[in-house]
Structure 1
Amino acid sequence: MTGSGTAPTARSPRTGGSGHDVAYRRMTVEQRRAQLLAAALGLFAHRAPEDVSLDDVAHAAEVSRPLVYRYFPGGKQQLYEATLRSAADELEQCFAEPQTGPLTRRLSRALDRYLDLVDQHDAGFTALLQGGSVCETSRTDAIVDEVRRAAAEQILLHMEVPEPGPRLRMMVRTWITAVEAASLIWLDETASSPRDRQPSAGELRDWLVDHFLALLTATAARDPQTARVTSAALALENADGPVGALARRVIPLMGDAAHLLDDEPRGSGPGTGG
């Protein structure tokens, strides 16, 4: 009845499919979809996808279960894939960085954003990227792989290599895989005390930058294209930056191997037999 003189407000309570009262707020289609995805991502951040129900999402978003179905008629699988796509977009943006300054500085800033996102979503990051969920499909695998490829393309863009050869591309993709694996291990080994993670995010970032430099120089020793890219990148680095710090730590360690440079390795000279 509308003759009572009171009109429904924008937050009139309604009963959802799960039996609890929810507060309804008028939103545009885009706003409502974003709200549902944010609620789902928040749940996936602390629980495996198979442990999250549509009722859980409806309750977290303060909407009715039928409303969730209206936006995701395919049910939880469609919602999971959409949430994964949303998280993937965030991860891809982590490596978008202005192309100015030393390469290691750019990598450090990108890793800061990446590790911050990983830390925020914690178990959700593991569930979304590690795989093994019953919600996993070929489509979700493709979304995760797209994140890795997009991150690699961003790194190659920073290195100003429009047409990378197979060795350089493999090196960059290997590093991206290592970043993801290190993040998962970091979360797993510190799950009991996430507020006191060891190593710290800053220490992990610096180690990953060192890892990138090690892979880069090792590849440069065998690949002319990578050698040219490495030379150009190192020319922009500062003595007090990550490259200089790594060199000061590594060179003394290599002192014990100096004798390997004195003579030509046995059996490697011309005319030697097998």
Structure 2
Amino acid sequence: MGARSGAARQEKTGDAPRPARRRLSVDRRREELMAAALELFSRRDAEDVSIDDVASAAGASRALVYHYFGGKQELYVAALKSAAAQLEARLKPQGNGRPLDELASGLERYFDFVEEHAAGFAALLKGGPANRSGEIGEIVDSVRHRLLRLIMRQMRVEEPGPALRITLRSWIASVETAGLDWLEHRDIERPTLERMLVDHMVALLGVAANHDPQVEELLEELVRDQLL
């Protein structure tokens, strides 16, 4: 009778039974909490996301979030570090082909990450100025420096002069903006966008070559390699 009346109350109110809390390993639970945090941080400013929001999104308790991370700032930093580490892993050199082909391959892996880990990518790059100082800024800058070093390696450049350095960093900023725009609109095919960004690099180098002999020599080598 009691069981039947309980079921009747549940049917009457329409409330679904709460799922049993799963027993997860420490690492798995941390990953779930960080994934939930990244999803929230990608859509709202960090200041507007509470520990309760993260706990609710992850199906965990507020106390558990504090147990693993200590507070919201620690959770934010850990989540961004996780996203940055995953992105940097994608950027490891895959071969030793022609520079522009390697650049295209790197872009494909970059956008693989953008597509598969949209929340992490957006959270990593979308924060306002207040989130770009201290440890948070260092996390974002580490990814950009990694990408800069990768491009220099692909182009066989040991030490870029001012014109080349500015050109490469400007292109990296364009790639970041393109990734965020693509996530928001998705109104251009990924392969088209990736080819466009390779052409964008060549165009930027062409402009810089008019002002700097190092860039002019590099561009000539890139074009010659593509013709071989």
The two structures have a TM-score, normalised by structure 1, of: 0.66
Aligned AA for 2:192?
Answer: E
Q: Distance in 1 between matches of 2:204 and 2:111?
A: 20
Match of 2:55 among 30, 40, 58: 58
Determine whether 1:131 maps to 2:120: no
Determine whether 1:210 maps to 2:210: no
Larger radius of gyration: 1
Determine whether 1:101 maps to 2:83: no
Contact in 1 for aligned 2:32/2:58 (Cα 8 Å): yes
Q: Distance in 2 between matches of 1:42 and 1:90?
A: 15
Shift of the alpha carbon at 1:213?
0.7
Shift of the alpha carbon at 1:133?
7.5
Q: Distance in 1 between matches of 2:31 and 2:51?
A: 16
- The 3 A distance-change label for structure 1 pair 70 and 41 is same
- The 3 A distance-change label for structure 1 pair 238 and 159 is same
Q: Distance in 1 between matches of 2:33 and 2:174?
A: 32
Q: Distance in 1 between matches of 2:115 and 2:31?
A: 21
Contact in 1 for aligned 2:36/2:58 (Cα 8 Å): yes
- Name the structure 2 match of 1:229: 218
Match of 1:160 among 146, 156, 159: 156
Corresponding pairs, count: 211
Q: Percent identity?
A: 44
Q: Distance in 1 between matches of 2:119 and 2:23?
A: 30
- Name the structure 2 match of 1:76: 72
The two structures have a TM-score, normalised by structure 2, of: 0.78
Q: Distance in 1 between matches of 2:74 and 2:35?
A: 15
Shift of the alpha carbon at 1:69?
0.9
- Name the structure 2 match of 1:219: 208
Flag the structure with higher helix content.
2
Q: Distance in 2 between matches of 1:131 and 1:170?
A: 23
Unaligned runs of 5+ in 1: 1-19, 191-196, 240-274
Q: Distance in 1 between matches of 2:167 and 2:218?
A: 13
Aligned AA for 1:231?
Answer: E
Counterpart secondary structure, 2:23: coil
Between 1:199-208 and 1:107-116, the stretch displaced more is 107-116
Q: Distance in 2 between matches of 1:83 and 1:26?
A: 18
> Map of 1:1-274 to 2, 5 A cutoff?
23-27=21-25, 29-73=26-70, 75-122=71-118, 125-132=121-128, 137-188=133-184, 190=185, 197-238=186-227
Unaligned runs of 5+ in 2: 1-17
Q: Distance in 2 between matches of 1:121 and 1:44?
A: 13
Q: Distance in 2 between matches of 1:182 and 1:146?
A: 19
- The 3 A distance-change label for structure 1 pair 233 and 133 is closer
Contact in 2 for aligned 1:22/1:64 (Cα 8 Å): no
